Chains A and B, each alone.
Chain A
């Protein structure tokens, strides 16, 4: 238990569906992240939020839309996804977004797009 929770843990959706992934951290951290991990690929950073402000968008397609209403919650809104978007989506948090910060990861949401 790292203090970072993600829901749902598993999600199956069609290409025309709209769904949202939720992440919550109970660590009092100020920075939160979304990562994507496809099969046999390295972790890919998607978005970074620091004090609720987006500081990094790593060339992510617009069908992925993040939302950070406060420092403890992070959402990833999904719409019109493609089968190749099927992956494990990981949320992480850290005290700050600086280069020395240790990130704590949630268990991930395993997404399957049909």
Chain B
């Protein structure tokens, strides 16, 4: 089972910031928060990840709350090509070393 909860869908106007929330209230101290996205008919694409501190790269920013129970992915200037399903993932450790468990994600629609 996925350890995260995300809204099913969100809309964002083109050129505006898209803020995608994620709750992971049962996160463990050694678990990272990863974000992937999947554009229609393509494979998932890595976006960003973090443990405690906020992170930023060329694609997005990741804001993690101090208690680490939730995070927000920020796309600063959304474009139509950012329309995709965004997955927030917390790594799950088990005997088989399964690194990722994908939930249902948030379907982001960027509107012109």
Contact = CB atoms under 8 A, between A and B. Distances in A.
Interface stretch (B17-25, B43-51, B76-84): B43-51
A107 B43 contact: yes
Residue in A35, A97, A99 whose Cβ sees the most chain B Cβ within 10 Å: A99
B99 A101 contact: yes
B91 A99 contact: yes
A108 interface: yes
Nearest to B100: A103
B98 A105 contact: no
A102 interface: yes
B43 A56 contact: no
Identify whether the interface residues of B are mostly helix, strand, loop, or mixed.
loop
B1 to A, nearest CB: 10
Contacts of A86: none
B interface bracket (residues with beta carbon within 8 Å of A): 20 to 34
B49 A102 contact: yes
Given A42-B102, A99-B31, A100-B91, A50 B44 contact: no
A108 B42 contact: yes
A50 B97 contact: yes
Contact of B43 (A45, A98, A105): A105
B66 to A, nearest CB: 21
A94 B97 contact: no
